[in-house]
Each structure stands twice: as structure tokens, then as C-alpha cells.
Structure 1
Amino acid sequence: MDLAMTLHPQFSLSAPVSMDSFAPPMITGTEPDAATEILFRALVDVCRRHAPELEAVLKGEADISQLTPELMGRALHAQGLWFRLLSIVEENTAMRRRRNVERTQGRAAVNGTFSHVLAEAVAAGVKADEIHALLNDMRIRPTLTAHPTEAKRVTVLEKLRRIYLILRELELPRWTERERNSLMAELRDQIELIWMTGELQLEKATVVREVSWGLHFFDESLFDTLPELVESLESSLAEYYPDETFEVPAFFQFGSWIGGDRDGNPFVTSSVTRTTLKRNGRASMRRFRARIVDLGKLLSITEQALPTPISFRKELTARLAASGDGEAIQARNPGEHFRQFQTCILRKLDATIERNKEEPVILPGPFYVDADELINDLRALEQGLTDAGCRSLATNQVRPVRRMVEIFRFSTVLLDIRENSTRTTNTLREMWAAVEGATPADAPDVESSAWRAWLTAELSKPRTTRRVLEGLSDEARETLATFALVGEMRTELDREAVGCFILSMTRSVNDILGVYLLAKEARIYLDSPGVEICQLPIVPLFETIEDLRAAPSIMKELLSIPLIRRSVRWQGGFHEVMIGYSDSNKDGGYFASNWELYKAQAKLTEVGQQAGVPIAFFHGRGGSVSRGGAPTARAIAAQPPGSIRRQYRVTDQGEVVSFKYSNRGTAAYQMELTAASIMEQVLRSKTEKQGSRPEFDDAMEALSGASRAIYIQLIQHPGLVEYFQNASPLDELALLNIGSRPARRFGARSLSDLRAIPWVFAWAQNRHIITGWYGIGSALQNFIEVRGEDGETLLKSMFEQSKPFRLILDEVEKTLRMVDLSVAREYSKLAPNAQTRDEIFALIEAEYALTCEMCLRVSGGGEIAFRYPAFRERLSERLPVINQVSREQVELLRRYRSETDEFKREETKSALLLSINCIAVGFGATG
């Protein structure tokens, strides 16, 4: 089939194409046709320049399995590039559709906007004081992670963004034919540059490179769009509550794990974390500097034209005196008091930037101790202009800069430190040995009362000086150095430079108390003796189903401890708990994972209410459905009643970051969608009936148990791991240099050796995708067989009324559309053991058919995912090419694993890795 016809049925490339003679169609309305045509013609033209033999591949007219590995790799690169270009069209089209709705129907008609939520709130009779209360406590923090799930290099991201911007330019009707041809030439150049840019990371990514990747999104979009989010909320509040004055705080900030996540990554050391914190700080400071320089150019207000308020004169006099160079500053801009004030700010900020380099340069004169000082200076400038009668200048020019500083401070993000309990416990054992004069092996069992007694005693002892612990291992010293760095950077750089400490593999209260002791050792306590209040939030992470079930009892005990209660009260009044989606899915399958996560949140919410310490949740979601990925608004709406208490954190990983934040329009919408959805959920929780439906909960429990039993039956098949390794590119994923974490445990002998990310990634590559649906068909069938007609009626009622159940089934159906068992069968043939292969594939094939049947029976649909025509259309545009690439990958895996010639093997490897990239880009998700 012609690829162009597959992607756009009205567009054919049967005739020769030349960009020189091609008059590009106008991009109008909300349909992607013209943009698709423009990009595909440009891509074909580039193909003809560099690899004319691949034009037939782009049109779907060639069998590239017959090509050499080198040509096959180039073909895969071209196909992957087309997927990226198609994603740009879809992003641009979605943006135009939202604008069209706003233009024709008003902002409130756009779902996911503040105006939409506030219009509904007013209609529902929500009073202004409820909005005030919500704003006072609302805190939202998406957190960027460095998990190895992103296949795009920064240099490619930059070029893709330029293509997006050119498409936007081409929408404008003002261009002459000459100007449009010039834009088209630039568009083709950018595509050509990506064509010639290596798609694969040739070297293992470093943590420093990952930090640069993360900061790229702030430089390109987030520094500017996030302050605009606050303005958007203020504007909507003014429209729907015109008689009220709202003070909107910096309610939306970003967190990050990049450079702070040392769980399983030995390359993240205290030294690397220090470098990360410094780089993060300089990134925001330099953006502030650029905006403040712009202010200086604007504020050319002379005293003769506008008398300076006395109060502002006093502020200026103080700043000039503190600068150490007041006379020169006055002489440079005589009579321009606001510009003089700006110069004092700029010089002080320059000194701060120099002091925070890796190799600090100490400039004479004052510097900012923290971001609060800069915020106060900007407030003074803002107030001075207001008092002088220039409120518009103060509001439109200075306030956005002040808001930017309030949001990003001297840290850009709040960097979390993550470590696992095994590492912290080993360090504590060595501390015990150093204090007791024994060996770590002699330490009490970490779950024993003796160990708890030691922890409690150490936490209660006043500590006024840092003690010297002899004989510690390098690993223990490194752990303690990390905690010491946290205290240092919170003081020297910014109080919000570090967000929290996340303890993965939390198994008990002792694990958490141990981290409080490590924080005490580093003197991260508010009181000098270190017995009252820990300043650093300690966040337990519960990941597996077993851990999720244990979480309520652990937190109940933890919140009864006075030290914890005092610390949480000082930190803001909420105790944060992180829950993981990936490992629970790997443990029990998709349905059981979602239900266990739901139950854990409901029980933890109740625990917090009983303890008088509200629990806020940090959702460790990945991009794919199997790792918790779901539409933002629906995922938030499907949380247990009362579990979102105006506090919300979620991880954005890899390809999710690129999708959400590469371009400003999309970034602005995604951030407003998240914030507006949180507001909507909180406001609705006040009016909607609270509490669960016992019959629904009972059904969910039964379905969860049945689906998990079927899932475990599959994964405990004695040949499953061997089948999985052979019938997927599991081992070969380790060759992709898309993350700094070591590629260990890919060559696994048991399921427990496998990390969740490659587990999901490889099942998606081989088109089985069992992580997003397996076991659910049997569970639904069993429920109906046991409960009969009443059971089926109940399931249909749940489909209409239960948000968590509906979300699960909707996402299952979307996943089922991505499965292709004819392609999966080709992968299965890579497994050499025919008996095992046939047994396992037969189980998957039967369960797939049953799941499709039962989902349609419950939903009443005529075809899978019929409720999502846009999703089906988007997928149908991609599947013909993805299926072709999948079959090519099977052939490449066969060649790569059997090839003995080292040169040919390396050549095949490059093509194989490109095929992995291409499929991931086509689906829009990796792990």
C-alpha cells in the first residue's frame, strides 16, 4: 500500500515530486491534510536527494527485508523520521482545534481550561471562599525523570521544534508566494538535517547529558509558559468571580530526578548531584538575567517626565549604597531611577551567578543569598511603578518576571534525591558498627525491636557537633556525603533546591526512621540538637503489590511518632507517599495493579484522616498504559474520593516529557489541563456524593483476583522467561544508549531479575503487549459465569458509573488495538523450543480473543475502542508501517543472533536498533 495513501487517503504521490515546483497548500481549518501533504512531499524530496532507492520504501512499495543491513537501517531511519513528522502534524492540528473552539465558542468551551472549570463551579454555586481555600493549599509538581525511555536526542528535538514553528508560520495567510517558498525551503532543510543526523546515541548517555536534556525543555518553553499559566488562572478568576481579589501563589512548579536518582545508578554520585544543582540554579538565574536586561531597556523613565515616589527613592538609595558603586550607576543613567534600580538588581544577580559556578568567581559587591531577596527587589520595583501611576507597566512588564522567580527560584526545579532502602540500611549498619565498636554483620536484624530501639535512641540524642565515624566503606561515605550535600545546597543555593528524599523499596517504619537518622547525621534539622524537626521531607515509595498492601499499616505507625508529626507540620502539613505503577503491573497484571493502587490510596487517605495528617500522593507513572500512562484529566478524576487534597505530584518520563513540553502551545495546554483537572476534582469532591459503592468494590476485588490468577499462571510458566528473551528484543534493548543507568538484568534467568521498564518495552516491541490487557478477559468471563445475568448487569452498570473501572476498560481496549497476533506469531518463531513456544502463544492467543469478546460484551460496542475514533484513526495511520517495521525487526533479530562475522553483525545491530527506535516512535511510547 502507498504510504502516502495510508497516511492521508486523498493524497497520492504517483507523480514525480519537486519542491522547486511545488506550491504548498494553505494550512487552514483544523484538519491535518495540508500539513501532512507538505511534510510528506518535503520528506520524499529529501529522500530523492540522498537515497533515491528508498523512495519506494517511503511509499510502501518495497520489501526492505531483501535490502542489505546498511540500506535497511537507512530505510528504518526514514520511516522513523516520518513518524516524528506525523506527530508534529497531530500536535499542531490539536492546537489549532483548541484555538478554533476558543475563537468560536469562548475559552470556557475548551475542556481542560481554568475557564471551563470555573464556569462549572459558578454554575454549581461554589463560593469564592472555597476558591480562596483551594488556591492557598494547591501545589502541583510534575517531576521529570531520567528513566531510559526517551529515544530522541536533544539535537533532533531542536530541529523538530523548528519544523513545528515553520508549520505554524505556514498557517498565516499574509505570506507572498516568494515568502512561502522560502519557508518551505527552510522546512526541507530542517528535515534534511534530521535525515543526516544520527538517530542513535553512539555512546552511553551520561548523567550530565541527561541534565542538559531536561533543561532543554525549560529553555525552549517552560521558563516562559509557566508564568503565563498563573496569568491564565488570574484572568479566569477575574472573569467568573469579578467581585473578588485573588492572590495566586506559585502553585505549579517542576520537580526532577535527573542527577538525583541514584537508585540503581552508580553514576549519580554526590559530586554529580552537586554539579546538577549548580547547573539547574544557573539555568534559572540566567533566564532571570535576560528578562531583567529587557526590563532595563524598557524602563527609560526620566524623573523630569514622571516624578519618582518618595518610598521608591528610599528603596533606590538603599540599593545604591549597598552596591558599592552607586555613583557610577547614577552617572550612567542620570535621572532614570527605575533603570538605576534595575542596574542594582542586575549587578547583584551577576555576582550570584558567578558564585554558583562549579569554579566560583567571587565578584566584589553584594550577591543574592536566596531567591527571596530577588523577589523582594522585584516587588519593590513593581510597587514603585504602581505608586508612580504606571500600574500597567508594573503588571505587564515587572510582575511576569517576579512570578518567574517565584516559580523557578534559584533551582529551576526541586531536585529529588532517590535511593533504595538496601543502600540506606547498609550505611546505617556501618554507622551502628562504628558507634558500637563492632562489625556491620553484628548489627541487629533491621526489623527487630533492638534495631528500632537503637534508631529511636539515636534520633532522640541531642547532636550539636558533626561526629566522625571511622572505618566506613566507600559506599557508606558516599551515602552520607549525599545527605551532607542536601543540607549544604539548601543553605547555599536555595531552600527549594532539593525537593525531598524518596526511599524506594520501603518495607517498614524502620526503613523510614533510618533515613531520618541519616538526615540528622548531616544536620538537616531545623533545631541545632537535631531532635525536633527534620527539614527534608522523607517520602516512602511503595511499588509492588505486597508493598502497596503493607503501606497503610506502615503509615499508620509512622504518623503516630512525634518526630514525624512535628516535621510534617513544619514542612507544610501533608505527608507525601509515592506509589509505583510499573512494578505492581509486573507483579500482578494490569487490572490487579490498578485496583491495588486504588485500594492503597483509599486506605492511606483514611489513615491520614484518622491521624490528623493528610496524605498527599506522588504518582510514579510511565508513558505507556502498562506503566500507569492514561489521559491526564481522566486519570485524576478516577482517583479515590478525597485522595487528592489539593496536592498532586506525578512523574513525567522520557517520551512523555517530549510530547508535553517540546512546544510552548502544547506545554501551556498540558500544564493548564493538569492544574484545571486538579481544581475540578477538588471542587467536585465537595458536592458529589462521597464514599464507595460496596457492590462495585466487591466486583473489583473479584475481578482483580481472577485476572491476577490468570496472569500469574502465564508468567510462572516454566518456559516464559526463555520464550520472552527469544521472542522479543529484550536482550538487545540493552544496546540502546538512551539512559545513563546501567543496562543490567536484561540477560535474566528469572522474572524477578527483570526491571519493569524493559519488561514493558519488549512486550510492546513484539506486539504481544500482555502488560496492558492479559487476564482481563478471563476475569470478566468468570465473573459473569459465577454471578449470571445479575453479574453482567452489574458490570455494565460499573462501566457507566465507576470511573476507575471505566478507565481500566477504556485503556485495555486501546491497548488491544495495538496488539497484532499475526505479527506476534512471527516473533514467537524466534523461540527455538517449539513445544514451549506453542504452549505460551496459544495461551496468549486464547486470552486475547476472550478479552476482546468480553470487553465488547460489557461496553456494548461494535468494535474495540469504538468510543475513541480519533485514537483509532491515528493508530490506523501508523499500523501499516509499524507492522512492516515489526516484520523487518524479526528478520534483523534472526540475522543478528546468528551472524558470526563481526563486521556484518555490527552492521545488522545498527539496523536492529533503528527498528526498535522506529516502533517506539510509531506508538509514541517506549517503556
Structure 2
Amino acid sequence: MPATDKDLPLRDDIRLLGRLLGDTVRDQEGHDVFAVVEHIRQASVHLSQSPDSELDPATRAELEAILNNLPRDSMLSVIRAFSYFLHLANIAEDQHHIRRRRAHDLAGSVPRAGSLKFALDRVQEAGVSVGKIRDFFDVALVSPVLTAHPTEVSRKCILKCQHEIAGLLDQRDRMRLTPEEQEDNDVTLRRAVLRLWRTRMLRPTRLAVVDEIKNGISYFDDTFFAELPRLYGQLQDLLLKRFPGEDWQLPPFFRVGSWIGGDRDGNPFVTADILKTTLRLQSTAVLDFYLGEIHALGAELPLSQLLLQVSPALAALAESSPDHSPHRADEPSRRALTGIYARLSATARSLDQHEALRHAVGEGQPYANSAGLQRDLEVLVDSLVEHGAALIAAGRLRRLVRAVQIFGFHLAPLDLRQNSEVHERTVAELLARAGRIDSLPAYAALDEERRVALLCEEIVSPRPLYSPHLEYSDETNGELAIFFAARELRARYGNAALPNVIISKTDGASDLLEVALLLKEAGLLKPSAGANAPELTINIIPLFETISDLRNSPAVMRRLFALPAYRALVASRANEHEVMLGYSDSNKDGGFLTSGWELYKAEVELARVFADAGVRLRLFHGRGGSVGRGGGPSYLAILAQPAGIVSGQIRITEQGEVISSKYANPEVGRRNLEILAAAALEATLLDLEHETEPQAYRAVLEQLSERAFRAYRGLVYETEGFNRYFRESTPITEIAGLNIGSRPTARKASGRIEDLRAIPWVFSWAQCRLMLPGWYGFGSAVEAWLKDHPDGLEMLRRMLGSWPFFRTLLSNMDMVMAKADLAIASRYADLVSDASLRNEIFGRLRAEFERTRHYLLAIEQQDELLADNPLLRRSIRNRFPYMDPLNHLQVELLRRHRAGDATEPVDERVRRGIHLSINGIAAGLRNSG
């Protein structure tokens, strides 16, 4: 009974929001539309509660008849109603997570896994010394990196309205409201739901890159500015309590990075001008934040030196201020802050041609860098601490100092990314124009060893290849402009603003050497001169994506470290080197099981190569939102890394709708930031149980992977007609027309699955509820392996119990299969015009799904999916009745849309209905792309 009672507030919130939405539909669309929506809802709920929906043909037939015969205008209202309900249910669930966390904290419960308290408890119990903990923070880097990959289908104004609704629910939960306050909350909630209903859910035009940049920055305004400094403060306070007498001045080891505005792989709209705009917008945002905080501190610190002594440094800072008001003559802190504000205002004007919202008192000298601002703020902190007011210093002022440490004048470190093929063409043209090779094709014709030799020769040469007096192609000019702009922007905002260059589709040492050569041309790599060693001022990061690239990655890095020219560059970067691993494309290339296993093996082998070379390895995990793109719970994923791999440093991409689900709500955001920090701490400092997983486990997984790879490739790339089946049975074509990002859905306009981006590939399978990239091939692999090993099931169960990597792999597959629905997927299969193709391929899909489900449950020794996660199972089952009608209507609209005569204009209501249904289904699945 207690387990039921604790979820009662969640059910109450969902009922409340559902009732308000229903009232809004009735008031705004009329009783007839409301009656249809309610009839569909009741029938769908009844159907989902049947032990086997196939045994209730009358209800199913009734529901399908209603849905199929809906007038188009009513259909749009029904789609919007169910979509908004799923959005509202997400809000209620997020608030319930916050509620339950607070309840545990109030009750003094044992710290939960994923919290900093839990991590530090484990570290202390393991007897880790203070020295080792200090060593961790000295080298630590934990960095979630926001990307603009287009699976976020919600507009920002919709998200802001949802945030307001979350705040109103939170108010009802935390406060005992008077009748008047309760009435005001009710009316405000109703008003917010009405605004939501009357706000356009879809964008009329495709997002521009600048829109994506502004969306990314908004998460700093909403969450990161406040919650990252709080996270540091929380961790520092915990360390002081556990290890009193120690000085825990933590370095800024936790940073939020970004690709938005710097990732031009397949995105022709990211240019040098966009790069400059990105840094200007980021800088403007962070400087506005600092200015607002300093203004607020001025109101908080009217401290009189008649009542509180001040340090000589603070007295001097106040004296240098342009604030000479006699009313504040005895308030040095306020006068110092006025001077800081004036200088920061001048900095905004100088850096970004941006005027502060509030005019400064007098003129100030711009800060040369953020370190100068930090020093001035620390003068205030030191004076307060020295004279008995440390408690005051530990509030807003301490958080602002920490923010300046974290965000500088650039806000977020921005990565540059481009495809290796583009770099190759750019270098080839530079070499040809400079006369180093005969022609552009001559470079492409060189084998890898000859390329490496030529590039190493050019990297160490002080002679440039580029000349402003020669003509180059538009592509080469564009690429060079990016690197020239990067040099300019680093000089303006600091090297931390643009620290990395990432190379997509890396498959050889020459790919990194080509980038090194381009950096040399831009002045970001300084070749050796005389006694001076060469200096690389920016990180070069290979991205290994396909299965073959992952397998080849250790050899590529070993070859690079053997090159004196490149090894000298690594030495200039303090013998640290980052490698990025592509979860998305490896999954699309080889399937879920093989992708996971090849990523794991690559990490282990890379660690050996780096250790042999005396280079510190940092891994950048290119995870997506869905399991099919390497998603899943971050905490478990980090702890499941091979032993010794994290070593205090980890970067992870945060993509698509996952960004809003994790970071739109500040409290949820703080929890997700804490999880990353806690996992990095545990994975580095503890001797985790998988450190000595038996070699036999690895051998088993190797054999399973080989079989799963053959099954996956056999279906996706070797079955004739599969591409046609995919394009007709999923809304991939319609997703391409949805205005959810600036990037095209394919790298090339070929129509081949190979050239399709992994994001729309996974997103399409999620929409039709098949979720193929998250499970296909596992069942066939286990079945074939067990034929050769009749007693092998016990081995697989031991692996599940004692190997976190295998356990996490199966847990993620369990989750994605629980979200799949073969009955729904079969309706999408009916869209395939070739009946024999449809029956053959869907028959294979159904058989593999049942096979995978059977063996997954057998290994887990469970009777149903998500047996060990009842909360998620309940959440998914509660959503299905509201998702199923959306899927049915989407299929019907796809059928109508595709049956139209090419000579007739497209019915915009049908197209809009398809796009609205995509939004709603994505909201219901939450991690779909």
C-alpha cells in the first residue's frame, strides 16, 4: 500500500492537467470535438488494459472506425489534444521525480545512487585517500556537450509555457495555499493550458543555425548559470564536512560545451560568419548574466565600513570606482561593485559591441580577460572572509566567482567539426596551387604512407601553402575562413572559447595530419623554428564512427604516435589526446549489439596504445538520445566503461529532445549534472567489479557480436527491397520536411541508407514503434550461439550478474523493447505497396522481435519486460493509450498524403497533421532520436 500511496500525487497531477486540457478543448473547439476526444481516450484506455488486445476485436474495431472516419479538421484537434496530454504527462512525471527526491531528503533517507553523497560514501568506504581525491580534481574534466541534432520537435515558446505549468504544480506541492492562493493557482494553470492550446506547435519554416544557437544559449539562462555554481558549492561543502581541515578550492572541472554553430559536418549553413555570430551571442549572454548578478550584489551588500572592516585591497578597489556618491561613501563593497559593473559594461561594448541593459555609473577600463573580473570579485570575497562575514561571501558572491571561472567571457567551449573528406579536398587544393603536387587528383591517388610522409614534411615546414593572391574553390575558401576566424576569435575571447577540432569519418592517420596542416596555415600550429619545439595550440580529435573505423582506431593512433612530427605536437598539448567514438553511426552500420561491443573493445585497445605511448587518453562519447544511438541512463553507462578508462575525464554529447528533457527544468537539470559528476568520481576512484571480467565473457560476447552483425547487415544492407520497405513503412520522408533543424537529413542526396544520417534513421523507427536499431539481431545471435553451447544460458546469466557492461547493454535493450509495439508497427507495414515485400520483411521483423524478447527474458529470468523497473514500466503503459491513437492517425494521414495525385496541390491540413503526430509521439517516447 505505501508504494501505491507515494504515487498518488503523480496520478492527481495527471488527472488535474488532463481535466484542464479537456475543459480547454471543450471550451475552444466545442462539445462535439471534446466528445470525440473523450470517446477515443476511453476506448484506447480500455483496449490497453485488456490482457491481450487481440482478444477485444469489438473495441478495436470501434476505435479504428472512429479514427478512420474523422473529418480532417477534427482529426487535427484530436492529434493536438493527445499530443498535449503527453507533454503535460511529462511535466507531471518530472515534478514527481523532484517531489520524491525532496521526500527522501526530508526523511533523511540513505543517499541514492547517482548522488554526490552516495559517490563520496562509496569512496570513503573503499578507503580512498584524500590525496587520491585531490589528484582526481586536479586532472578532472566532466563535460556534457550540447549539439543541434534535429530531434527536438518542440518550439522554445512551448517549452517555456510547459516550464510555467511545472512551476505552478511545484507551488501546489510545496506550499500550503490559502483559498485565495489556491484559486489564483487554479486560474493561472488554466490560463497556461489555454495558452499552450492556442500556441502553434510547429514551426512554419526550418530552423536557421542562429535559431539553434539561441535555443542552446537559453539552457544556460534557464539552468546552467544557476545550477552549475550550486553543484560546485554542494560538492565543496560535502568535501569540507567529510574531510575537515582540508582546503577544497575545486578547479573548474565541470563545464558544459557546445557544437551549435561550430559543427559543419554536412551542414552548409555553418560558416565563418556563423562561427563569429555564435561566439558573439554566447559572450553577450554570459556578460549580461554577470552584469545582472553584479547589480543584484550591489543591492545585497550595502555593508558599511563603520560596522565591518575592509581589506586594503577592497578599499583600493572602491577608491578606483567611478562611484563618488556621498550616500555610499562608507559602503566600499557597493562602490567596488559599481566600478566592476562599469568595467564589465565597457568589456561588453569592446568585445561584442553590446550595450548593458542598465547604464554604468561613469566609464571603466575593459577587462583584458575573465581572470581580471575574477580577481576583482575575489577581493570582495577575501575581505568578507577575513573580517568575519564568510557567510555573506558564501552566497551569491561565491556563486558568481565560480560562474566566472566556469563560463569566462565565452560561455561554453565550442567545438569545430567537419568531415575528413572535406579536409582532404581542401588540403589537396592547397598543395596543388602551391605546386607541391601536380593536380588535385594527384593527392587523392597517393596511398596512405605517401600522404603521411608529404603531410609530415609540410607540417614542420615554416613555409605556408596558402596565398591571398591565388584563387581557390568556394569550398576551400570556406574551410580556410573557418580556421582563420578561429584564430581571430581565440585571440578575442581566449583559447578556451574554441579548444577542439573534431574530424568526422576518421579512418587513417592522414586525416589528423591534414587538419594539422590547415591549422598551421591559420597560425594555430606553430612549426619548429631553431631550438623551439613545434606548438599545437588547439586539440585535434579523431571521430571513429563505423564498425571498421572503430576496429582500426588503435592502429591509427599507434601510427600517429610513431610519427616524430605528430608526437611532438602531442607533447606540446601536455601529452594529452582526446578521441571521440561515434555511437550513432556504428549502430546504424553494425546494429545495437555489435556497436556496443566494438565501442567497448576500441576503448580497451586505445587505452593500451596510449599507455604504451605515454599519452593521457580522454574519451568523448558521441551518444544520442535513444538507445538506438547509444543513449540510456548516463550514470550506468559511465560506470559500465572498461576499468581505468574514465580516469577523471569524460565528455558526452547531449542531443535533440534529451537536452530539454534533462535541462529545461532547473531542478531536473541539477540532478542530471550531479549524476555525471558522481559517476565520473566513482568510475575513477573505485576498483569496480568489472575490472577483472573473465576472458571467457569477452569471448562469448565476441561470438554473439559476430552473429548479431551478420543478422543485422543481412536485413538492412543485403535484403533486396529493404530500403523501399523502410521508406514506405516509416515517416522518414515526412520527417525530412519537418522544420526541426538546420541540418539536412542525409549527407548525400543518394537515397541510400548508407548516406542517411543516423538521427532520422533512428527517429523514423521510433515513430512507427518498431525501434529496430535498439534490438535487432540479438535474438538470432543468442539462438545460434546456444545451438553450439547448449548449456550457455547459465553463462549469459552470470555475465548479466557480474559484468556491468553486459548488464547495461541488456537493460537498455529491455527499455527500448518495452516501448516497441508490433501491433502498431504492423499498421505502418501496411503502407508498403508491395504485398510480398511487406509480408517477407515484416515477417522477419516480427520473428526477430519475438526471438529477442524470448532470449532477453530468459537471460534476465523474468516473465515480462522492465520487470526490475516497475516505475518506468508503469510510465510507459500509462502513455500507450494516448500514443496509440496518434500512431493510428499518423498512418491514416500518411496513406492519404502519399495517395495524392502529384498534379494536385498538397493538402496542408494532412501534412500538418502528420507533423503534429510526429511531435506527439516523440513526446510520448521522450528519448526517440
TM-score range, shorter chain: over 0.9
2:740 corresponding residue in structure 1: 738
Distance of aligned partners of 1:149 and 1:844 in 2 relative to their CA distance in 1, 3 Å threshold: same
* 1:403-430 per-position Cα deviation (integer Å, ceiling 9, x unaligned): 0110111111111111111111111011
Q: State the distance in 2 between where 1:111 and 1:31 align.
A: 24
1:493 corresponding residue in structure 2: 493
- The worse-fitting range, judged by mean Cα deviation, of 59-68 and 73-82 is 59-68
Whether 1:524 aligns to 2:527 is: no
Q: State the distance in 1 between where 2:452 and 2:119 align.
A: 48
Q: State the distance in 1 between where 2:892 and 2:601 align.
A: 44
* 1:703-743 per-position Cα deviation (integer Å, ceiling 9, x unaligned): 00011111111111101001111111111111110000124
Letter in 1 for 2:13: A
Distance of aligned partners of 1:572 and 1:358 in 2 relative to their CA distance in 1, 3 Å threshold: farther
Q: State the distance in 1 between where 2:916 and 2:690 align.
A: 51
Deviation at 1:553, TM superposition (A): 0.5
The DSSP-based 3-state class of the residue aligned with 1:417 is strand
1:323 corresponding residue in structure 2: none
1:119 corresponding residue in structure 2: 121
Contact 1:463–1:528, Cα closer than 8 Å, also in 2: no
2:50 corresponding residue in structure 1: none
- The worse-fitting range, judged by mean Cα deviation, of 466-475 and 734-743 is 466-475
Contact 1:139–1:648, Cα closer than 8 Å, also in 2: yes
2:55 corresponding residue in structure 1: none
1:131 corresponding residue in structure 2: 133
Contact 1:710–1:775, Cα closer than 8 Å, also in 2: yes
Q: TM-score, normalised by structure 1?
A: 0.93
Distance of aligned partners of 1:694 and 1:370 in 2 relative to their CA distance in 1, 3 Å threshold: same
Contact 1:535–1:567, Cα closer than 8 Å, also in 2: no
Contact 1:548–1:596, Cα closer than 8 Å, also in 2: yes
Aligned pairs (5 A) from 1:261-340: 261-317=263-319, 319-320=320-321, 326=322, 329=324, 333-340=328-335
2:623 corresponding residue in structure 1: 621
2:166 corresponding residue in structure 1: 164
Q: State the distance in 2 between where 1:121 and 1:109 align.
A: 13
Q: Determine which of 93, 102, 110 is the counterpart of 2:96.
A: 93
1:17 corresponding residue in structure 2: none
* 1:203-260 per-position Cα deviation (integer Å, ceiling 9, x unaligned): 0100111111111111111100110000110121122222422221111111101111
Whether 1:680 aligns to 2:682 is: yes
1:342 corresponding residue in structure 2: 337
2:72 corresponding residue in structure 1: 69
Gaps of 5+ in 1: 1-9, 11-26, 321-325
Q: State the distance in 1 between where 2:752 and 2:451 align.
A: 33
Distance of aligned partners of 1:422 and 1:745 in 2 relative to their CA distance in 1, 3 Å threshold: closer
1:784 corresponding residue in structure 2: 786
Q: State the distance in 2 between where 1:172 and 1:194 align.
A: 24
Deviation at 1:65, TM superposition (A): 2.7
The DSSP-based 3-state class of the residue aligned with 1:203 is coil
Letter in 2 for 1:419: Q
Q: Determine which of 40, 44, 47 is the counterpart of 2:18.
A: 40
Contact 2:922–2:928, Cα closer than 8 Å, also in 1: yes
Q: State the distance in 1 between where 2:201 and 2:750 align.
A: 28
Letter in 1 for 2:15: E
1:650 corresponding residue in structure 2: 652
1:14 corresponding residue in structure 2: none
2:45 corresponding residue in structure 1: none
Q: State the distance in 2 between where 1:566 and 1:395 align.
A: 44
Contact 2:345–2:355, Cα closer than 8 Å, also in 1: no
Q: Determine which of 91, 102, 119 is the counterpart of 2:105.
A: 102
Contact 1:524–1:534, Cα closer than 8 Å, also in 2: yes
* 1:159-212 per-position Cα deviation (integer Å, ceiling 9, x unaligned): 010000000001134311121111111111111111111111110100111111
Distance of aligned partners of 1:889 and 1:463 in 2 relative to their CA distance in 1, 3 Å threshold: same
2:808 corresponding residue in structure 1: 807
Contact 2:147–2:656, Cα closer than 8 Å, also in 1: yes
Aligned pairs (5 A) from 1:679-758: 679-685=681-687, 688=689, 690-715=691-716, 716-744=718-746, 749-758=751-760
* 1:14-60 per-position Cα deviation (integer Å, ceiling 9, x unaligned): xxxxxxxxxxxxx9987402211221111111111111333234431
Q: State the distance in 2 between where 1:539 and 1:45 align.
A: 54
The DSSP-based 3-state class of the residue aligned with 2:743 is coil
Letter in 2 for 1:230: Y
Contact 1:617–1:647, Cα closer than 8 Å, also in 2: yes
Distance of aligned partners of 1:446 and 1:880 in 2 relative to their CA distance in 1, 3 Å threshold: farther
Letter in 2 for 1:706: R
Contact 1:70–1:911, Cα closer than 8 Å, also in 2: no
Contact 1:150–1:926, Cα closer than 8 Å, also in 2: no
Letter in 2 for 1:113: S
Contact 1:306–1:388, Cα closer than 8 Å, also in 2: yes
1:868 corresponding residue in structure 2: 869
Q: State the distance in 2 between where 1:926 and 1:54 align.
A: 30
Contact 2:314–2:336, Cα closer than 8 Å, also in 1: no
Whether 1:83 aligns to 2:61 is: no
Contact 1:102–1:110, Cα closer than 8 Å, also in 2: no
2:379 corresponding residue in structure 1: 380
Q: State the distance in 1 between where 2:7 and 2:808 align.
A: 31
Deviation at 1:465, TM superposition (A): 11
Q: State the distance in 2 between where 1:579 and 1:706 align.
A: 23
Deviation at 1:284, TM superposition (A): 0.7
The DSSP-based 3-state class of the residue aligned with 1:462 is coil
Q: State the distance in 1 between where 2:880 and 2:354 align.
A: 52
1:223 corresponding residue in structure 2: 225
Q: State the distance in 2 between where 1:729 and 1:415 align.
A: 33
2:924 corresponding residue in structure 1: 922
1:54 corresponding residue in structure 2: 33
Q: State the distance in 1 between where 2:95 and 2:133 align.
A: 33
Distance of aligned partners of 1:102 and 1:118 in 2 relative to their CA distance in 1, 3 Å threshold: same
Aligned pairs (5 A) from 1:470-481: 470-481=470-481
* 1:573-598 per-position Cα deviation (integer Å, ceiling 9, x unaligned): 42110001111111111101100110
Q: State the distance in 2 between where 1:476 and 1:360 align.
A: 36
Letter in 2 for 1:276: T
2:907 corresponding residue in structure 1: 905
Distance of aligned partners of 1:814 and 1:471 in 2 relative to their CA distance in 1, 3 Å threshold: same
Q: State the distance in 2 between where 1:69 and 1:748 align.
A: 34
Q: State the distance in 2 between where 1:360 and 1:669 align.
A: 35
Deviation at 1:385, TM superposition (A): 2.3
Letter in 2 for 1:356: L
Whether 1:353 aligns to 2:354 is: no
Gaps of 5+ in 2: 43-62
- Larger RCO of the pair (alpha carbons < 8 Å, separation 6+): 2
2:770 corresponding residue in structure 1: 768
1:574 corresponding residue in structure 2: 576
Distance of aligned partners of 1:564 and 1:844 in 2 relative to their CA distance in 1, 3 Å threshold: same
- The worse-fitting range, judged by mean Cα deviation, of 472-481 and 264-273 is 472-481
Letter in 2 for 1:533: E
Deviation at 1:462, TM superposition (A): 2.5
Contact 1:114–1:672, Cα closer than 8 Å, also in 2: yes
Q: State the distance in 2 between where 1:140 and 1:702 align.
A: 34
Contact 1:30–1:96, Cα closer than 8 Å, also in 2: no
Contact 1:29–1:96, Cα closer than 8 Å, also in 2: no
Distance of aligned partners of 1:446 and 1:216 in 2 relative to their CA distance in 1, 3 Å threshold: farther
Contact 1:142–1:649, Cα closer than 8 Å, also in 2: yes
Q: State the distance in 1 between where 2:777 and 2:908 align.
A: 39
Q: TM-score, normalised by structure 2?
A: 0.93
Query: Identity of paired residues, percent?
Result: 34
Contact 2:168–2:185, Cα closer than 8 Å, also in 1: yes
Distance of aligned partners of 1:352 and 1:528 in 2 relative to their CA distance in 1, 3 Å threshold: farther
Q: State the distance in 1 between where 2:600 and 2:543 align.
A: 15
Contact 2:377–2:401, Cα closer than 8 Å, also in 1: yes
Q: State the distance in 1 between where 2:302 and 2:922 align.
A: 53
Q: State the distance in 1 between where 2:114 and 2:690 align.
A: 23
Distance of aligned partners of 1:418 and 1:745 in 2 relative to their CA distance in 1, 3 Å threshold: closer
The DSSP-based 3-state class of the residue aligned with 2:691 is coil
1:439 corresponding residue in structure 2: 439
The DSSP-based 3-state class of the residue aligned with 1:690 is helix
Contact 1:582–1:757, Cα closer than 8 Å, also in 2: yes
Deviation at 1:566, TM superposition (A): 4.4
Q: Determine which of 208, 230, 234 is the counterpart of 1:232.
A: 234
